[in-house]
Amino acid sequence: MRILALTAILSAISSGEMTVFVVVKYPQSNVGQTQSFGLGGTAPLDWGNFLQLSNTATNTWSASFKIPDFFLNASNPTWSMDMKVVVQPQQIFQMGANHREIFHHSSGNTAHVSIYPYFQTPSGATQTLKQIWSPQLNNSRDVWLYIPPVMVENPFAVSTHTLIMHDGQNLQPTPNSPPDYMGNWSVATHIDDLIAAEKIEQVFVVGPYNTGENRINEYTYSKDPQYGGGEGDLYLDFLQHTLLPRVQQQFNLCTEKRCLGILGSSLGGLISCYAGVTRPHVYGVVGCMSSSFWWNNGDFLSTIIPRLTASETQRYYVDCGDSGDSDDDLQDTSQVATAFAASRKGLMLGVNYFWYLQRGGQHNEAFWSKRFHHPMQWLYGHAAVWNNGLGAL
């Protein structure tokens, strides 16, 4: 008997089979008495035969499943899965992109997954925080927020993608804007559409306004002979040490590097790229649109690019147009884009580094809004998981 028991234990250990424990958090008050939750997904789950979730605590449902060792083993050390919670018996799938997990053979025989679904909120919400004080810069500004649909409906949801966007006053039309006003990006509308189409993950946007006369100082890291500036590091300190903690007081935000991004245009693009290169431990996602790489005689190319460290854990997006005044700084941007690609610092074009030229693009909000879906999809995109052909969507 003891020999048989020992054989069974050794067999289980050698198999490398992983048990995945799933916890779903959702408001109990939204679930009818005759309804239950199931879980569908790619192999070893199924999109038609759902795994039943049990109501194990208030607002909490749980289940477990196993990933066989022929999916996940030393020769195949990672296994990617897509999942979605489904309301039964109506078979209503959670909205938005699939929940994605990547399991690692080296992590052991157990894994834990938390899912925060939503089912009935097609659009996010916006809010403006008034006059947030900056002790670093000795001034105040409003901050525009975009709250993604999942966080509007599900109070337990945590934003796993938090994106800082500069020039917050230009990100959304104001109530007094004329109907044909083109001085804004319509960020909320764009993100709502991309989330609904399951093309991007849920993204929470923090959009600090610029402070008018101080914009040049705050969005530049060095002094330009003509325009001055150079307080960019103080501005980045404000974002990191004052603004994000303030927003976290009100919302469940992940602000670790794996969750945090920064994106802007013109000087906002310049300070975003600077932040990515000089603070690689802070920002995992970096978006630089029509960046003012001409600043201070083009010293970004000569003094900042050489500071680039290993960037395998970062994603960069750089773009510009080729028309209008100064051709949207096409020459300087092309040089910087080429230097990023040639840096040999872990950036691979089309994988974690993206360079886009908008033909006919000019240096203004109308064109940045028109191509805003490019950085969002390339930085937060959701491609199908094929798992070597098993359980493909």
Task: Indicate whether 137 and 270 sit together in one domain.
Answer: yes
Task: Indicate whether 99 and 167 sit together in one domain.
Answer: no
Task: Indicate whether 181 and 301 sit together in one domain.
Answer: yes
Task: Indicate whether 13 and 140 sit together in one domain.
Answer: no
Last residue of a domain, one of 115, 137, 158: 115
pLDDT of residue 389: 36
Task: Indicate whether 133 and 107 sit together in one domain.
Answer: no
Residues 6+ apart with CB under 8 A from 198: 96, 97, 98, 382
Residues 6+ apart with CB under 8 A from 64: 19, 20, 21, 22
pLDDT tens column, 48-86: 999 999 999 999 999 999 999 999 999 999 999 999 999
Does residue 349 lie in a domain region? yes
Q: How far is CA 89 from CA 25, 199, 291, in A?
A: 19, 27, 51
Does residue 12 lie in a domain region? yes
Task: Indicate whether 28 and 141 sit together in one domain.
Answer: no
Task: Indicate whether 170 and 297 sit together in one domain.
Answer: yes
Does residue 46 lie in a domain region? yes
Task: Indicate whether 96 and 190 sit together in one domain.
Answer: no
Does residue 388 lie in a domain region? no
Does residue 393 lie in a domain region? no
Q: How far apart are CA 333 and CA 336, in angstroms?
A: 5
Task: Indicate whether 229 and 355 sit together in one domain.
Answer: yes
pLDDT tens column, 132-168: 999 999 999 999 999 999 999 999 999 999 999 999 9
Q: In this structure, are residues 221 and 230 in contact, taking their beta carbons and an 8 Å threshold?
A: yes
Phi, psi of 147 (to 5 degrees): -105, 120
Domain CATH number, residue 91: 2.60.40.10
pLDDT of residue 281: 97
Task: Indicate whether 103 and 168 sit together in one domain.
Answer: no
Domain count, the chain: 2
Position 257 pLDDT exceeds 70: yes
Does residue 24 lie in a domain region? yes
* Whole-structure pTM value: 0.91
Position 329 pLDDT exceeds 90: yes
List the domain range (segments joined by +) for residue 168.
125-380
Q: In this structure, are residues 117 and 157 in contact, taking their beta carbons and an 8 Å threshold?
A: no
pLDDT of residue 33: 87
Domain CATH number, residue 215: 3.40.50.1820
Task: Indicate whether 137 and 253 sit together in one domain.
Answer: yes
Last residue of a domain, one of 115, 137, 157: 115
Does residue 215 lie in a domain region? yes
Residues 6+ apart with CB under 8 A from 42: 80, 81, 82, 83, 385, 387, 390, 391, 392, 393
Position 203 pLDDT exceeds 70: yes
Task: Indicate whether 22 and 43 sit together in one domain.
Answer: yes
pLDDT tens column, 101-129: 999 999 899 999 999 999 999 999 999 99
Q: What mean pLDDT do residues 182-210 have?
A: 93
For the chain, the average pLDDT equals: 91
pLDDT tens column, 354-365: 999 999 999 999
Last residue of a domain, one of 52, 84, 115: 115
Does residue 369 lie in a domain region? yes
pLDDT tens column, 4-30: 443 333 344 445 699 999 999 999 999
